[in-house]
Chain A
Amino acid sequence: MAGIVGYGAYIPRYRIRVEEIAKVWGADAPSYKKGLMLREKSVPAPDQDTITIAVEAAKNALKRAAIPPAKIGAVYVGSESHPYAVKPTGTAVAEAIGAIPDCHCADLEFACKAGSESMFIAFSHVKSGEMEYAMGIGADTSQGAPGDALEYSASAGGAAFIMGTKDVVATLDVQYSFMTDTPDFWRREYMHYPRHGGRFTGDLAYFKHVRGGVEGILKKSKMKPKDFRYCVFHQPNGKFPTRMGKELGFTEEQYRAGLLVPTLGNTYSGASPIGLSAILDEAKPGDRILMCSFGSGAGSDAFIFTATARLPKIQGRARKTRDYLDTNPVYLEYGAYTKFRRKILKNVED
């Protein structure tokens, strides 16, 4: 049966706290923290971008899968922060892991849903028998406009999944997608920062589409929330996925392992994939996992996975997601953060 044969995540070391951002804009940090259920977020170093994050996540996935990289038939990278507007991210990843040249590469963009898309497509190739292995990655160094609510959450990180049919560690049993054309969040060509529809991004965007995805896949699979050991939803902040989980009938025990947003922030295309990687780090054989992404624009991809007996054998082969998140974070002040994120206007260097 087809599914995941290797997975890996990567999270930069730097963090900034909500208080540090709120201080600059005269905002009320406690209410932001409570409202967003978010304490801090990851920040990419100046030498990190979606390509470097995707490469590190891919290398971790490869360590776990322990397969020859040349056998990977496709590398798909979903992101809303591809370093080049024109020139692929996927080729850089494929080159770095040694999957070139017999490889199909594509970059995807669908706000925060591009990561699950890459998994969806990679899975289709291996399930059809067209490819032995295919890799799907979700990674971002997301931008929120200075002073905007998104600045408190837009963060950096990524996760990679190698799909295959041999030595599967989590079978992908069912998938379902739910789409409408909804302008809740966008970034026009040549603009630095995205814009969004404020409170419109809630009920008619996030909640509608995650609910659609989860209810759709439950119906398709004839399963109920209690059939799952774990669940993970797109997590733009702590509040949305928790409320969604409760409304859909899931409990904290089910979503706790995958809910990283309080200290990670919103890694956009990486968000639900990194959550899934954290779940795979601790899941046991037979555990069933429900994942549902969300991307503004808008839509959701839902998957049902079942951990196999092989999973415990590979969990320790690469650094675990929680270890990236919880070990040795370095906290930045807003000044260093703006330098790291290139928000300071400088002279052209001479």
Chain B
Amino acid sequence: MITPPVVRRNTPQRYRLEANKCAKCGKVFFPPRLVCDACRGRKFAPVTLADTGKVVACTVIRTPPTGFSDLSPYCMGIVELKGGTRIQCQIADCEPERVKIGLPVTLEFRRVQEDGESGVLAYAYKAVPAR
């Protein structure tokens, strides 16, 4: 859903990769959580994720959901960032078929969705092959 409250609420994560880290066991959560699923701890410190990593799983989406047809076919991947946290995002600026597990990537700021012709724009991270 691309509505002003949803866009605003997700901004710290989508714009700046803000995560949190369990004060007790050190597990990092993206998005930040209120309770640690490893130790049930409830104290956290803010951390920012690294913007580089590598692809650990990927696919080429050829039947996109509504709102993504302009990009089709595009690559989706699971990226393990430096520090170990995994995120899911598009892998842009690539030949989708040539993306392989292990590919080093960096995150760039991109327009991910928009609410039709006149609604709000939603920006976030996408991975691109590291150069």
Do A and B come into direct contact in the complex, CB within 8 Å?
A: yes
- Mark A residues whose CB is within 8 Å of B: 13, 45-49, 51-52, 55-56, 59, 83-84, 92, 95-96, 98, 319, 323, 327-328, 330, 339, 342, 348-350
User: Are B69 and A328 within 8 A (Cβ)?
Assistant: no
Looking at the complex, which one of B15, B110, B126 makes contact with A95 (CB distance below 8 Å)?
A: B15
Q: How many A-B residue pairs have CB under 8 A?
A: 56
Q: What's the nearest-Cβ distance from chain B to residue A230, in Å?
A: 26
Looking at the complex, which one of B67, B109, B121 makes contact with A55 (CB distance below 8 Å)?
A: B109
Looking at the complex, which one of B15, B16, B66, B92 makes contact with A45 (CB distance below 8 Å)?
A: B92
User: Are A47 and B66 within 8 A (Cβ)?
Assistant: no
User: Are B109 and A349 within 8 A (Cβ)?
Assistant: no
Q: Which of B25-80 contact A (CB under 8 A)?
A: 66-67, 69-71
Q: Does B11 contact A (CB under 8 A)?
A: yes
A98-B16 CB under 8 A given contacts A45-B93, A47-B71 = yes
How long is the Cα–Cα vector from A319 to B108 in the complex, in angstroms? 13
* Residues of chain B contacted by A47 (CB below 8 angstroms): 71, 90, 92, 110-112, 126
How long is the Cα–Cα vector from A59 to B109 in the complex, in angstroms? 10
Could you tell me the dominant secondary structure of chain A's interface residues? loop
Q: Does B131 contact A (CB under 8 A)?
A: yes
* Residues of chain A contacted by B70 (CB below 8 angstroms): 46, 339, 342
Q: What's the nearest-Cβ distance from chain A to residue B129, in Å?
A: 8
How long is the Cα–Cα vector from A13 to B94 in the complex, in angstroms? 10
* Residues of chain B contacted by A56 (CB below 8 angstroms): 108-109
Q: Which residue of B lies closest to A69 (CB)?
A: B16
* Residues of chain B contacted by A48 (CB below 8 angstroms): 110-111
